[in-house]
Amino acid sequence: KSDFINFISDQEWKSIEPVSSWFGPSSFLMSSMSALFQLSMWIRHCHGYLTENIGIPVWGSYAVFALATLFSGLILGLVSETLETDGLV
């Protein structure tokens, strides 16, 4: 506590370099990292719901997420190819 008070009162904070804009809390990079973290927490919540409330075995929950990943990749690939062949991208 005393080190922090001295840090403020002696104005030692002026000698510290500011954080690069790439790593600032409102940057695109950090916003993307936050979104990925929130996605992982949502997936964890869904896994818990599937295994605890519905009673699906753990391997079944993994299979559900694997299929969801495959189908979402398929859909994104089809949309990407459609946009590319139509000349929109």
Q: What is the pLDDT of residue 54?
A: 94
Q: Is it the case that residue 55 has pLDDT exceeding 70?
A: yes
The full set of domain ranges for the chain reads 26-86
Tell me the pLDDT band of 89, cut-offs 50, 70 and 90.
low
Q: What would the mean pLDDT of 33-58 be, rounded to a whole number?
A: 95
Mean pLDDT, rounded, of the chain: 89
In whole angstroms, how far apart are CA 21 and each of 7, 17, 18, 27, 33? 24, 12, 9, 7, 15
- The whole-model pTM stands at 0.60
